[in-house]
Amino acid sequence: MANDVDQKLIAKLGELSDRCDELNTQLADPEVASDPTRTIKITKELGRLKRLVDPFRAFRKVRAELEESRLIVADKTQDADMRELAQSEIVALEPKHDEMLEALKSKIVTDDDAAINSVILEIRAGTGGDEAALFVRDLFQMYTRFAEKKRCTVEVLDQSGSDAGGFKEITINIKGDEVYRLFGYEGGGHRVQRVPQTETQGRVHTSAATVAVLPEPEEINISVNWDKDVEEYVSRAGGPGGQNVNKVSSAIRLVHTESGITVSMRDDKSQHKNRSKGRRIMLTRLYDYYRQKSDAQRDSARKSMIGSGDRSQRVRTYNFPQNRLSDHRIGLDLYSLDKVIQGELDTLVDALQTHDKEQRLKDL
């Protein structure tokens, strides 16, 4: 017997299946077919829907076969051999049915996130001075190693070094299949407890860093007039310790007047490249800003985990003396921090994905 969540899920997928039929009908209309703009729009929507609708239709076929077999077994007027055959079909179909249903549950609540194959991570040092900057470097290396294990590519967009060899802040782009599902849970405050390299008394210090994860969809439907909506400031770029990276004005600072969002880019010696990178980051920040605003208006009570962690929310503690990593959102403690910091994040990410899926299913 299907529970309420399963019934809601099947009803929702049924609506998406009907929408697919409706879109296919529109594509067959000569008037639509002669309009490239409408055709492209419909084709893209169909492509997104089919990721859910195709497996749903396969599931619906298995479900119908299972129900038919159950009816035969329950019908006492049926031939004994027929009922026995139907029972054997039930034994084969039930696990297949349940497996397909679970896969659909994962797909429907993560489909939008799974479609995002590029994210921008901004990691900044918080309290703790040089030790916090070293922690930023450790997080950057941890994410880079994990990305490489998942066959993702990492590009450093901007960085600001510290005298001790860490980073005051660093911005990176990570690309790969379903990359947002891998890194989307990292947003928020990260705290480290360990003995700093400069500590002579062996005392444990607490430092902090913040991480923002900005999804970078292939299409960001945000219109920005760079001349009117954004103020641009140009200055000379400075490196670690105050040294000049170059003698020309190449550093760019962009300020979006409506939202107040600011992007500073100084990593490249080329003003053109810094402007291009800065605008790219500005678009992802604006996308995230308007998306969160839209989510809040749609349902102020719902807070899904992925993409919701802002910098003020403490999400994780890295305790080196105890070799312990604690994720405070799901109450998970892992006593394998040495492996995690080397990029082995699978156990942590799997737990976060499972929790996130359960929460989202409740909100269907």
pLDDT in tens, 162-186: 888 899 999 999 999 889 999 999 9
pLDDT tops 70 at residue 296? no
- H helices of 75-206, where? 80-114, 129-149, 179-183
- H helices of the chain, where? 4-28, 30-33, 36-74, 80-114, 129-149, 179-183, 271-298, 337-340, 346-362
- 185 and 37, same domain (yes or no): no
- Rounded to the nearest angstrom, the gap between the alpha carbon of residue 62 and the centroid of all alpha carbons in its chain is 32
Distance from C-alpha of 210 to C-alpha of 328, rounded to nearest angstrom: 15
pLDDT above 70: percentage of residues in the chain: 89
Residue 165 DSSP code: S
- 336 and 192, same domain (yes or no): yes
Residue 188 CB burial class (10 angstroms; 0-12, 13-18, ≥19): buried
Mean pLDDT of 251-257: 91
- 322 and 232, same domain (yes or no): yes
pLDDT in tens, 259-286: 999 999 887 778 888 998 999 888 888 8
- 100 and 173, same domain (yes or no): no
Distance from C-alpha of 133 to C-alpha of 210, rounded to nearest angstrom: 11
The three-state secondary structure class of 5 is helix
What's the pLDDT at 293?
74
What lies within 8 Å, CB to CB, of 41 at 6+ separation is: none
- For residue 19, count other CB atoms closer than 10 A to its CB: 14
What's the pLDDT at 194?
94
pLDDT tier, 244 (very low <50, low <70, confident <90, very high otherwise): very low
What average pLDDT does the chain have?
Answer: 86
Question: Which residues does residue 215 pair with via DSSP β-bridges, in sequence order?
Answer: 119
Q: Are strands 167-175 and 251-256 parallel, antiparallel or unpaired?
A: unpaired
pLDDT tops 50 at residue 204? yes
Mean pLDDT of 187-198: 90
Which of 114, 135, 162 delimits the end of a domain? 114
Task: Report the side by side order of strands in the sheet with 167-175.
Answer: 153-161, 167-175, 118-125, 205-215, 188-194, 314-319, 324-327, 332-334
- 84 and 127, same domain (yes or no): no
Q: Are strands 167-175 and 153-161 parallel, antiparallel or unpaired?
A: antiparallel
Token reading at 293:
């605003």
- 239 and 360, same domain (yes or no): yes
Task: Report the side by side order of strands in the sheet with 262-265.
Answer: 230-235, 251-256, 262-265
What's the pLDDT at 8?
82
User: Range of 195's domain?
Assistant: 121-364
Mean pLDDT of 228-248: 66
pLDDT tops 80 at residue 363? no
pLDDT in tens, 308-349: 545 567 899 999 999 999 999 999 999 999 999 999 999 999
- 197 and 305, same domain (yes or no): yes
Contact between 170 and 134 under an 8 Å Cβ cutoff? The reply is: no
Q: Looking at 202-242, which runs of residues are DSSP E strands? A: 205-215, 230-235
- For residue 341, count other CB atoms closer than 10 A to its CB: 19
Could you tell me the CATH number of the domain that includes residue 284?
3.30.70.1660
Mean pLDDT of 61-72: 94
Distance from C-alpha of 249 to C-alpha of 262, rounded to nearest angstrom: 18
Distance from C-alpha of 160 to C-alpha of 272, rounded to nearest angstrom: 19
Which of 84, 114, 144 delimits the end of a domain? 114
User: Which of 181, 206, 364, 174 minimizes the C-alpha distance to 284?
Assistant: 174
Which of 79, 95, 114 delimits the end of a domain? 114
- 9 and 110, same domain (yes or no): yes
- 154 and 277, same domain (yes or no): yes
- 93 and 199, same domain (yes or no): no
What's the pLDDT at 240?
47
User: Which of 222, 221, 214 minimizes the C-alpha distance to 174?
Assistant: 214
- 176 and 313, same domain (yes or no): yes
Mean pLDDT of 12-25: 93
Q: What's the structural domain count of the chain?
A: 2
**Torsion sign (Cα): 107, 112, 116, 122:** negative
- 152 and 25, same domain (yes or no): no
Residue 131, amino acid: E
User: Which of 310, 294, 327 minimizes the C-alpha distance to 213?
Assistant: 310
